[in-house]
Structure 1
Amino acid sequence: MVRTSFAVGAVAALTIGACAPRDSMPQPSDGRALFQQNCSVCHGADARGDGPMARAMVKAPKDLTLISVRHRDRFPRAKVMSTIDGYARSTRLDGPGMPEFGGLLQGDLVPYDSGDGKMTPTPRKLVALAEYLESIQVSR
């Protein structure tokens, strides 16, 4: 009985240890890489809305370093994530704009509080990108 309990405990510890890196929360540096791959062509390498495609666009991309400034010095996590994943645009019919990034919704989920005080399973890549955007906000 003692050996069985010890064996079960050892297997559980190894399983938890093996999952630790995957279960860790995404960091801004993880999101920076995603931003460079998916967003910088329009928003620019520094997220100021001056990417190579910006001049060719009818509606200029926003300066993403000013999100908090536009929201009274508060970073609106839920709104930012719904803009990235396309949910905020799903009911609008005003023509082309920011594309939806379905790939950011794939993969594993992490618990994330988007501002409502509730931990919600959220795609890891989406959280990483939101963490990066929050990290680059400028103050007034």
Structure 2
Amino acid sequence: MPAQTKSLLVASATCLLVAACGPEEMPQASDGRVLFMENCAVCHGADGKGNGPMARAMDVAPADLTLIKVRNDNVFPRVEVLSAIDGYAQSDMTGPNMPEFGALLQGDLIPLDTGGGVMTPTPRKLVALLEYIESIQETR
């Protein structure tokens, strides 16, 4: 298949995906906060600083999620954060690793631009959690 045809197919599929999900349906940080409290706060803390109740029992402290942007030259690395949440990026932690959140990968897909200008179908709950984590970033 010629490259031009492939590009046209991708563009068409992206348009259909975007049309099927209006902006009012996009998850907000507040939607992700609920998921964060249910799935992440036990280790990362309610404030995302790595001070949850389970943190003291871990060999390696959970990451301070409010400093992701600071650690990356003031850029929030959406793809890397998504990979860490969904378990695609394997942890090098000793002891219990960050769990894979299968429930966050289920449900409807919505288009998400992870930074390259290409809309990628991504589970809605995963996008909501990403939006929340991005909203709690500190700047320095």
Does TM-score exceed 0.5, indicating one fold?
A: yes
**What is the aligned partner in structure 2 of residue 110 from structure 1?**
110
Offset, 1:20: 6.9
Offset, 1:105: 0.2
Q: For 1:58-69, list aligned pairs within 5 A.
A: 58-69=59-70
**What is the aligned partner in structure 1 of residue 78 from structure 2?**
77
How many residue pairs get aligned? The number is 121
State the identity %: 66
Task: Name the CA shift for 1:60/1:117 in 2 (closer, same or farther; >3 Å).
Answer: same
**Which structure has the bigger radius of gyration?**
1
Unaligned 5+ residue runs, structure 2? 1-19
Regions of 4+ moved over 4 Å: 19-23, 92-95
Using the size of structure 2 for normalisation, the TM-score is 0.80
Q: For 1:9-48, list aligned pairs within 5 A.
A: 24-48=25-49
Contact preservation (8 Å) 1:23, 1:110: no
Contact preservation (8 Å) 2:60, 2:93: no
Using the size of structure 1 for normalisation, the TM-score is 0.80
Unaligned 5+ residue runs, structure 1? 1-18
Indicate the RMSD between aligned Cα atoms, in angstroms: 2.1
**What is the aligned partner in structure 2 of residue 133 from structure 1?**
133
